[in-house]
């Protein structure tokens, strides 16, 4: 995995790790909201591209969150 993708994966997983510990059933939504609030579009695009390429290394919660983000509104 290229270093830049590796870094995105790590950052995304870190966010998921935090929300994973939170109560309730909104974890995926929270991760999605966090990504949407703080990540610049090209970072999100790179993350999506990595998901499309198999999403190696991403935690399941990130995958769920990305799924939500990409749902057409």
Partner 1 sequence: MKDFIIPGLDGAPAFSDRDYGTPERHSQKMVTLTIDGFEVSVPEGTSVMRASNTLGITIPKLCATDNMEAWGSCRLCAVEIEGRRGTPASCTTPVTPGMVVHTQTAKLQKLRKGVMELYISDHPLDCLTCAANGDCELQDMAGAVGLRDVRYEAPADGGFQNHFLRKDASGAPNPEWLPKDDSNPYFTYDPAKCIVCSRCVRACEEVQGTFALTIEGRGFDSRVSAGMAGDTFLSSDCVSCGACVQACPTATLQEKSVIELGTPDRKVVTTCAYCGVGCSFEAEMKGDTVVRMTPWKHGKANRGHSCVKGRFAWGYATHKDRILDPMIRESINDPWEVVTWDEAITFAATKLRGIQAKYGVRAIGGITSSRCTNEETFLVQKMIRSVFGNNNTDTCARVCHSPTGYGLGRAFGTSAGTQDFDSVEHTDVVIVIGANPTDGHPVFASRLKKRLRQGAKLIVIDPRRIDLVRSAHIEASHHLPLRPGTNVAVVTALAHVIVTEGLYNEAFIRERCDWDEFLHYAEFVSQGRHSPEAIALLTGVDPQELRAAARLFARGGNGAIYYGLGVTEHSQGSTTVMGIANLAMLTGNIGRPGVGVNPLRGQNNVQGSCDMGSFPHELPGYRHVSQDTTREIFEKLWGAVLDKEPGLRIPNMLDAAVEGTFKGLYVQGEDILQSDPDTKHVSAGLAAMECVIVQDLFLNETANYAHVFLPGSTFLEKDGTFTNAERRINRVRRVMMPKNGYADWEVTMLLANAMGAGWTYTHPSQVMDEIAATTPTFAGVSYEFLEEKGSVQWPCNELHPEGTPIMHVDGFVRGKGRFIVTEYVATEERTGPRFPLLLTTGRILSQYNVGAQTRRTDNVAWHAEDRLEIHPHDAEVRGIKEGDWVRLASRAGETSLRALITDRVSPGVVYTTFHHPDTQANVITTDFSDWATNCPEYKVTAVQVALTNGPSDWQVDYGRQADLSRRILPAAE
65 half-sphere exposure, CB direction, 13 A CA radius: 27
61 binds partner 1 (CB under 8 A): no
17 binds partner 1 (CB under 8 A): yes
Q: In the bound complex, what is the minimum distance in angstroms from residue 12's beta carbon to partner 1?
A: 10
Report the distance separating Cα 57 and Cα 40, nearest Å: 21
Q: Binding partner 1 by CB under 8 A: which of 1, 26, 39, 48?
A: 39
Q: Binding partner 1 by CB under 8 A: which of 34, 57, 63, 68?
A: 34
26 binds partner 1 (CB under 8 A): no
DSSP-based helix, strand, coil % in the chain, nearest 5: 75, 0, 25
């Amino acid at each position: 995995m290229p270093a830049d993708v590796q870094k995105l994966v790590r950052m995304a997983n870190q966010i998921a790790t935090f929300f994973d510990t939170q109560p309730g059933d909104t974890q995926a939504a929270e991760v999605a909201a966090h990504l949407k609030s703080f990540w610049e579009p090209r970072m999100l695009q790179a993350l999506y591209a990595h998901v499309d390429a198999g999403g190696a290394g991403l935690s399941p919660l990130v995958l769920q969150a990305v799924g939500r983000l990409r749902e057409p509104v």
